Amino acid sequence: MARHSFRASECGRAECGCTEGGLKVLVIGSGGREHALVWRLRQSQRVRELYCVPGNAGIARDAECLAGDVRDINGLANLADRLKADLTVVGPELPLTLGIADEFHRRRLAIIGPTRAAAELEGSKVFAKRFLERHKIPTAFFAVCDSSQDAYAALCSFEFPVVLKADGLASGKGVIIAHTADEATATVERIMEQHVFGAAGDRIVIEEHLEGEELSFIVLTDGKSVQPLASTRDHKPVFDGDQGPNTGGMGAYCDDSIIAPELQKEILQTIVAPTIQGMALEGRPYQGFLYFGLMLTKQGPRVLEFNCRPGDPEMQPQVLRMDFDLVDVLEKLLAGRLLEARMPWWEGSSVCVVLASKGYPGEAETGKVIEGLAAAEGLAGIKVFHAGTKEVEGKLVTSGGRVLGVTARAGELRTAIELCYQAVSRIRFDGMHYRRDIGARPDKFGARGLPRGFVA
Q: How confident is the model at residue 21 (pLDDT cuts 50, 70, 90)?
A: low
Residue 154 · residue 148 · CB < 8 Å: no
3-class state of residue 324 by DSSP = coil
pLDDT for residue 246 = 87
Tell me how far apart the alpha carbons of residues 448 and 445 are, in angstroms, rounded to a whole number.
10
- Evaluate if residue 15 carries a pLDDT over 50: no
Q: Where is 352: in which H helix or E strand?
A: strand 349-356
User: Around Cβ 196, how many Cβ atoms within 10 Å?
Assistant: 16
- Evaluate if residue 275 carries a pLDDT over 60: yes
For residue 278, the cross-strand partners are: none
Cis geometry, peptide bond prior to residue 301 (ω within 30 degrees of 0) = no
Tell me how far apart the alpha carbons of residues 438 and 58 are, in angstroms, rounded to a whole number.
23
**pLDDT tens by residue, 129-165:** 999 999 999 999 999 999 999 999 999 999 999 999 9
pLDDT for residue 441 = 62
pLDDT for residue 394 = 93
Which residue blocks in 146-283 are alpha helix, DSSP H?
148-154, 181-188, 261-267, 273-281
Longest dimension (CA), the chain: 65
The ranges assigned to domains in the chain are 13-115, 141-208
**141-208 adopts what CATH topology?**
Dna Ligase; domain 1 (3.30.1490)
Tell me how far apart the alpha carbons of residues 155 and 176 are, in angstroms, rounded to a whole number.
14
**pLDDT tens by residue, 23-78:** 999 999 999 999 999 999 999 999 999 999 999 999 999 999 999 999 999 999 99
Q: How confident is the model at residue 14 (pLDDT cuts 50, 70, 90)?
A: very low
**pLDDT tens by residue, 226-262:** 999 999 999 999 999 999 998 999 999 999 999 999 9
Q: How confident is the model at residue 18 (pLDDT cuts 50, 70, 90)?
A: very low
Name the phi and psi angles at 410, rounded to 5: -155, 175
pLDDT for residue 440 = 85
pLDDT for residue 455 = 53
For residue 352, the cross-strand partners are: 252, 407
Percent of the chain past pLDDT 70, that is, above it, reads 92
What is the separation of C-alpha 129 from the centre of its chain, rounded to a whole number of angstroms?
19
Mean pLDDT of 411-435: 97
pLDDT for residue 20 = 52
Range with lowest mean pLDDT among 2-11, 58-67, 93-102: 2-11
Tell me how far apart the alpha carbons of residues 373 and 427 are, in angstroms, rounded to a whole number.
6
- Evaluate if residue 10 carries a pLDDT over 50: no
Range with lowest mean pLDDT among 89-103, 118-132, 165-179: 165-179
Higher confidence at residue 324 or residue 14? 324
**13-115 adopts what CATH topology?**
Rossmann fold (3.40.50)
Question: Residue 126: what residue type?
Answer: V
Tell me how far apart the alpha carbons of residues 389 and 371 are, in angstroms, rounded to a whole number.
12
What is the separation of C-alpha 172 from the centre of its chain, rounded to a whole number of angstroms?
10
User: Around Cβ 442, how many Cβ atoms within 10 Å?
Assistant: 6
* Residues contacting residue 85 through CB under 8 Å, at least 6 positions apart: 24, 25, 26, 51, 79, 109, 110
Measuring CA to CA, how many Å separate 100 from each of 9, 202, 275? 21, 24, 22
Cα four-point dihedral sign 366, 421, 347, 377: positive
Angle, CA 434 vertex, CA 429 and CA 439 arms, to 5°: 140
User: Around Cβ 346, how many Cβ atoms within 10 Å?
Assistant: 15
User: Mean pLDDT across the chain, nearest whole number?
Assistant: 92
Mean pLDDT of 426-448: 78
* pTM for this model (two decimals): 0.90
- Evaluate if residue 2 carries a pLDDT over 80: no
Residue 290 · residue 275 · CB < 8 Å: yes
Angle, CA 385 vertex, CA 329 and CA 304 arms, to 5°: 65
pLDDT for residue 6 = 46
